[in-house]
Amino acid sequence: MPECGKRRRHRITEHTIEIPAPPVQLTGDLTVPTQSSGLVIFAHGSGSSRLSSRNRQVAVALNGHGLATLLFDLLTSEEEADRANVFDIEMLSRRLLAATRWAMAEPTLSRLPLGYFGASTGAAAALCAAAELGSEISGVVSRGGRPDMAGPCLHEVTAPTLLIVGGSDRVVLELNQAASKALRCPNELAVVPGATHLFEEPGALEKVAELAGAWFSDHLTDRTSGPEAPEDI
């Protein structure tokens, strides 16, 4: 896996947006550096939201590499009250597709290659959405993901996929090892030594961000350079 190289300084703009996902609207936080080389859309895990401190830490690191990021709430507050929705991968995938199509239709973002960063159950949703969109998705990264919950979608993913798992997260590591063998797309399994499921150990989440940055920098660079940071979204 290539190193990311030295980071450049980027002017960054941030917007709070509303994403149409009938019958609801989903709130998102869009961050766009100047001359973005790609857009990474985040899918958070069960019981989390766009405010996930772990995902936001990774997003900031990706912004430093010149990648735009979109973190959004997969469910409304009312929907979150029903725990069944939190584990409804089909619904979560539909919401992720809605956010992706919003980005693809937005003139200031439409030329950017797209990637997904999924955590826990959000990784399963990311894999299912990537399977549906095919070549429209240039790369997928899973952090402590549950690719086993993607079901038959797993075999249809074509985007290069990186599975990041904590070395001490034994059960999830085994699930990801099986998923790596089942995936038919180019994929790698990266194990962060000593890390548990939430990557709370010193330096563990920084390693996740480093690995994700390298993966997206490698795979989200096939199209022309992205736009300047938009003035209005």
CA atoms of 77 and 162, how far apart (whole Å): 30
First to last CA, the chain: 34
- List Cα–Cα distances, 62 to 95, 117, 134, 155, 193, in angstroms: 22, 11, 23, 28, 22
Extract the tokens encoding 147.
Answer: 């690719």
Region of residue 10 (phi > 0: left; psi between -120 and 50: alpha; otherwise: beta): beta
pLDDT tens for each residue of 30-49: 999 988 999 999 998 776 77
Element (H, E) at 15: strand 12-21
- Helix axes 204-219 and 53-64, enclosed angle (nearest 10): 50
pLDDT tens for each residue of 68-127: 999 999 888 888 878 888 789 999 999 999 999 999 999 989 999 999 999 999 999 999
CA atoms of 173 and 152, how far apart (whole Å): 20
pLDDT tens for each residue of 173-218: 999 999 999 999 999 999 999 999 989 999 999 999 999 999 999 9
The domains of the chain, with CATH numbers, are 12-219 (3.40.50.1820)
Extract the tokens encoding 230.
Answer: 């938009």
Q: Is the pTM of this model over 0.75?
A: yes
